Structure 1
């Protein structure tokens, strides 16, 4: 993954007007840990990726920057 992940996850959060704490709670991590995802300093494990994809209803490929298509197939 790359900074594309952090940019996308931040963009999705802002589009949905979701507080960082709400997403962190869904992931079972601290808000500080979630901020590392948005800054590109850390990345979620596989389970975290699944939670984020479900939360925003996007594909894993979109989150990982492998596709520009958001919709799941």
Structure 2
């Protein structure tokens, strides 16, 4: 479920995968795999994304629907 939330948050912020990957200091292909659920997202990236989108890690992981 987290991968759909990642994509939704990115699209809501009008960002490209390249822009988010740059913020995470990783390649776009690596981030694309997180977003598609092909590769599990590491904890450090999850925390950084939650801070970036000003939401909780629980929201990204689908444990809650409250941002």
Q: Shorter-chain-normalised TM-score: which range? A: over 0.9
1:57 aligned residue: 54
TM-score of the pair, normalised by structure 2: 0.94
1:27 aligned residue: 24
Give the CA deviation at 1:68: 0.6
- Regions of 4+ moved over 4 Å: none
1:13 aligned residue: 10
Give the CA deviation at 1:43: 2.1
Give the CA deviation at 1:53: 0.2
Measured on the aligned residues, the alpha-carbon RMSD in Å equals 0.8
TM-score of the pair, normalised by structure 1: 0.87
For structure 1, list consecutive stretches of 5 or more residues without a partner in the other structure.
none
